Structure 1
């Protein structure tokens, strides 16, 4: 009988010990939920966005609002515009040009069709006395060499530099010409030249 009773006592002790450990662990966890230090502070800052604004004005009484008429081969027409970066605008990252002709005739598609050239002046362009030529009293710089009248997203680094300078102004002379080699096929034609200047924002920077 002794050999039967001893193993039974050992087994019951082990069960009680296990139950006691579980209760003790739960008690420690419960105590931990009451001990914590906290501190909260807050602040705010205002955030505003900038603007990118490019303006165009006709110049020298010979702006793009003046139609070109009665051109013959070797004629050219000069028109002056002034681009301005608004005083409230951020500086620009690029300035590009896009031109288009609205009618599909030889003035647009012909090898002797209209040619376009753009020059910049360090001062506003002035109409010459007794002539439709536009003259520069300062320094003249080629912005776009003579080429096709249709241009797509052409970068204008000179205009960009002028617009991002302290003056915020680019004085441009747009010249349209009909080549000397244009023949009788070009007689009596008309078209409309659309000119778009696009300014994009500067690169991102820390504020």
Structure 2
């Protein structure tokens, strides 16, 4: 027998031996796939639905507020209702103000327009007086500052706040404020409470 024949014979035996080991392993693995008992429970019926977060703003005079020919010390106001018409309580309600038409009236944070909001426990009278209890929702701030509002009942589902929104041109406003115009957009935004285990 030559050396080449001997090497081939050994290699053939190794290959056959390896195939035998693989075949035995497959047979053992296959034994676990036959015949096993199983059982299942009755189904757990899980029914869930998501809540609705809804914040609505309505006004006796629509959602507009106008002031013409203001002089330092003047103010304009409007009565609105802020209603939580959804099924969820809110953690907070914020207010953001943008100015599609801007001027020194809204960019000057010192002597420019000041925004304030008060609430009344009953509807505001047409002369903007409150026959109930008042609360400060927003103390006067620069008109373009974003802020979180306070003393609101509308953070609770199905509750409504009677609000008086006021813009004031401070008495300290100087000549640079003459003949200027701004258009402001006020947007109230409610934020849900943090989710919990129920």
Q: TM-score, normalised by structure 1?
A: 0.72
Q: Which residue of 1 aligns with 2:154?
A: 163
- CA change 1:164–1:115 in 2 (3 A) is closer
> Partner of 1:185: helix, strand, or coil?
helix
Partners of 2:92 and 2:155 within 8 A in 1: no
1:74 and 2:67 are equivalent in the alignment: no
Aligned length: 170
2:170 equivalent among 158, 179, 188: 179
Partners of 2:88 and 2:192 within 8 A in 1: yes
2:130 equivalent among 112, 136, 142: 136
Deviation of 1:206 after TM superposition, in Å, equals 2.9
1:203 equivalent among 173, 194, 197: 194
1:188 and 2:179 are equivalent in the alignment: yes
Q: Name which one, 1 or 2, has greater alpha-carbon Rg.
A: 1
Deviation of 1:102 after TM superposition, in Å, equals 2.8
Deviation of 1:78 after TM superposition, in Å, equals 1.2
Q: Which residue of 2 aligns with 1:39?
A: 39
1:104-131 CA-partner distances (Å, limit 9, x unpaired):
4210223321111111111121112xxx
Query: C-alpha distance in 2, partners of 1:109/1:38?
Result: 73
- CA change 1:181–1:204 in 2 (3 A) is same
Q: Which residue of 2 aligns with 1:147?
A: 141
Deviation of 1:42 after TM superposition, in Å, equals 4.0
Deviation of 1:33 after TM superposition, in Å, equals 6.5
Q: Which residue of 1 aligns with 2:54?
A: 53
Q: Which residue of 2 aligns with 1:123?
A: 122
- Runs of 4+ in structure 1 deviating by more than 4 angstroms, as ranges, are 32-35
Query: C-alpha distance in 1, partners of 2:54/2:106?
Result: 31
> Partner of 2:39: helix, strand, or coil?
coil
